[in-house]
Amino acid sequence: MPIVSKAGFIAELNRRLLLHPAYRPGMTFTHYPAEGSVENATGYDWVPRIPGNPQPFAAIAHEVMDEGWGIA
């Protein structure tokens, strides 16, 4: 169960996103809320928002969480 910083968690999500077959340029995971710093984030988000179709973002996020990744 990897324990990483908030920035490390976002970096891992984005690393996997780049490898996903549905990846398109411009897709990225971000910290939430985006207005603040990653250290003050309360969660993560992604862009672009695709109404009714959160793939591949949801699949990647669930995969990482199912593997037991934690945030320090």
Domain ranges within the chain, ordered by starting residue? 3-71
Instruction: Quote the distance between the C-alpha of residue 71 and its chain's center.
Output: 13
| Token pair recorded at residue 19 | 């490898």
Entry pTM: 0.89
Q: What is the pLDDT of residues 10-52, one digit of tens each?
A: 999 999 999 999 898 999 999 999 888 998 999 999 998 877 6
* Cβ atoms of residues 10 and 31 within 8 Å: yes
From 4, 34, 50, select the one nearest 59 (Cα to Cα): 50
Higher pLDDT, 61 or 52: 61
Q: What is the pLDDT of residue 64?
A: 94
